[in-house]
């Protein structure tokens, strides 16, 4: 087995170690801000140009927001109510929004939130974090209001609604129709799906392209694979190069989705890039993910890279 490689993120704006900005970086960024703020004659445009590393300035708010997290958000009545009613959006709002939620989870200050619970939008499923229970099935599934290219056209009801709105927004933006290839896949279907990959390309190639049963986001009902459907639906592998694929890469977060497996995240996720595979995390967390410049859910929640299965 390969040793876990370091995350291959070239982009410095991708925080790899969670919310705690290195002190030196924060001091540098604050120093830059102070020096800009005290420059007597700089115009706004000049101020922007004077910042050598704009990404540093982007990361400062994460520290400030993190510092305002409630001492014990899980004890807040509004959070307890939201948890009791399984209202993920209200729970995150009760924490003070997506970034505050993330900061509390990473700080170990959110004992009422489990990243292992597949019934919530914040679950993290990867090669070292199987679903629990391994044969988990979502409580509510609905047909996605999209043209489908397989029979696996369902997703969690809120996810199905969100992807319908997103597809309409894409069409309104002029990039054409979006359809889907796969939504929810049961444990049993994933057994068959992965076995097909192993048969056709061997274990290693199969593991780079398809999750083993019990390790697939598709089993949560929160993931789906998109295709471009103008004029006819293409395959998933073609999606990234289409107008729809480009639009989704830029706008999916506005609808609560992230592109889960990006090229820069391969060392963390163990998956080849999949521009077609979207994972729903809700609009609050997706905004925090986007604003923070993240490229993997593992780094977003301060979890270790999971490029390989344990066995």
By the criterion CB under 5 A, which residues form the site for Zn ion? 225, 277
Minimum distance from residue 290 beta carbon to Zn ion (Å)? 20
Distance of CA 183 to the CA centre of its chain: 16
b/e code 28-65 from CB counts within 10 Å (16+ = b): ebeebeeeeeeeeeeeeeeeeeeeeeeebeebbebbeb
Residue 206 CB: number of other CB atoms within 10 A?
Answer: 19
* CA atoms lying within 13 Å on the CB side of residue 141: 19
Residue 95 in contact with residue 74, Cβ under 8 Å? no
Q: Judged by CB, which is closer to Zn ion: 190, or 283?
A: 190
CB of 101 to Zn ion, least distance (A): 25
In this complex, which beta carbon is closest to Zn ion, that of residue 225 or of residue 299?
A: 225
Q: How far is the CB of 225 from Zn ion (least distance, A)?
A: 4
| Least CB distance to Zn ion at residue 263 (A) | 16
The CA distance from 14 to 48, in Å, is: 21
Nearer of residues 180 and 305 to Zn ion, judged by Cβ: 180
Would you say 219 or 283 has its CB closer to Zn ion? Answer: 219
- Select 127 or 277, whichever has its Cβ closest to Zn ion: 277
Which residue of the chain is nearest Zn ion when measured via CB?
277
Q: How far is the CB of 218 from Zn ion (least distance, A)?
A: 6
Contact 255, 224 (CB under 8 A): no
């Amino acid at each position: 087995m390969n040793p876990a490689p370091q995350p291959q993120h070239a982009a410095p704006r991708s925080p790899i170690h969670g919310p705690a900005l290195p002190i030196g970086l924060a001091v540098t960024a604050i120093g830059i801000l102070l020096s800009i703020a005290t420059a007597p004659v700089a115009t706004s445009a000049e101020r922007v140009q004077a910042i050598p590393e704009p990404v540093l300035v982007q990361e400062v708010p994460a520290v400030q927001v993190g510092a305002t997290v409630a001492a014990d958000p899980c004890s807040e009545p509004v959070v307890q109510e939201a948890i009791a009613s399984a209202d993920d959006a209200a729970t995150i709002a009760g924490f003070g929004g997506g970034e505050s939620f993330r900061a509390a989870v990473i700080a170990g200050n959110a004992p009422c939130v489990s990243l292992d619970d597949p019934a919530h939008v914040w679950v993290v499923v990867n090669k070292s974090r199987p679903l629990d229970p391994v044969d988990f099935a979502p409580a509510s599934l609905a047909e996605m209001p999209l043209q489908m290219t397989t029979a696996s056209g369902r997703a969690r009801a809120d996810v199905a609604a969100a992807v319908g709105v997103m597809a309409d927004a894409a069409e309104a933006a002029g990039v054409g129709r979006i359809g889907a290839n796969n939504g929810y896949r049961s444990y049993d279907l994933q057994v068959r799906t992965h076995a097909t990959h192993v048969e056709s390309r061997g274990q290693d190639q199969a593991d780079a392209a398809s999750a083993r049963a019990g390790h697939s986001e598709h089993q949560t009902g929160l993931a789906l694979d998109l295709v471009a459907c103008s004029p006819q639906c293409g395959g998933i592998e073609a999606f990234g190069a289409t107008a729809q694929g480009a639009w989704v890469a830029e706008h999916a977060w506005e609808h609560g989705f992230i592109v889960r497996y990006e090229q820069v995240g391969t060392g963390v996720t163990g998956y080849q890039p999949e521009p077609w595979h979207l994972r729903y995390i809700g609009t609050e967390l997706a905004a925090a993910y986007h604003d923070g410049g993240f490229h993997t859910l593992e780094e977003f929640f301060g979890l270790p890279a999971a490029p390989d299965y344990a066995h």
